[in-house]
């Protein structure tokens, strides 16, 4: 027959095992969060690189006069949006 002391000892052992598991999961969670942050930063940097390369390709097409009229219009729209953004930033700095 199981005595109350044995029962209490078994509960304490299970509790200690749960605490060890909890600590291990907290460490793993922390590592995964750090890895996620690193991956997000890398993704943002890669997207910036892609945007820069697209701009360079557009500039090269424009300088080589190989842009179609629709490409030229799209390029002009992008430049105009950049100019509007710059004007907005200047206005905010002037306040």
Name, in order, each residue with C-beta under 8 angstroms of 67's C-beta and a sequence gap of 6 or more: 58, 61, 75
- For residue 15, is it within any domain? yes
- For residue 26, is it within any domain? yes
Q: Specify whether the CB–CB gap between 72 and 62 falls below 8 A.
A: yes
Q: Identify which of 71, 50, 49 has the alpha carbon closest to the alpha carbon of residue 62.
A: 71
Answer whether residue 86 shows pLDDT above 80. yes
- For residue 68, is it within any domain? no
- For residue 16, is it within any domain? yes
Write down the pLDDT at residue 66.
72
- For residue 62, is it within any domain? no
Q: Specify the pTM.
A: 0.54
Q: What is the mean pLDDT of the chain?
A: 89
How many structural domains are present in the chain? 1
Share of the chain above pLDDT 90, in %: 51
Beta strands in 7-66 (DSSP E): none
Rounded to an integer, the average pLDDT of 55-66 is 78
- For residue 89, is it within any domain? no
Write down the pLDDT at residue 36.
95
Could you list the residue range(s) of the whole structural domain that residue 34 is in?
Answer: 1-50
Answer whether residue 27 shows pLDDT above 70. yes
- Alpha-carbon distance of 52 to 78, in angstroms, equals 13
Write down the pLDDT at residue 1.
60
């Amino acid at each position: 027959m199981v005595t109350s002391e044995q029962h209490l000892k078994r509960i304490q052992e299970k509790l200690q095992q749960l605490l060890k598991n909890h600590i291990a999961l907290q460490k793993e969670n922390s590592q995964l969060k750090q890895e996620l942050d690193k991956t997000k930063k890398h993704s943002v940097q890669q997207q910036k690189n892609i945007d820069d390369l697209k701009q360079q390709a557009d500039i090269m097409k424009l300088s080589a006069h190989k842009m179609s009229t629709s490409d030229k219009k799209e390029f002009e729209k992008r430049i105009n949006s950049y100019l509007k953004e710059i004007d907005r930033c200047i206005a905010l700095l002037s306040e």
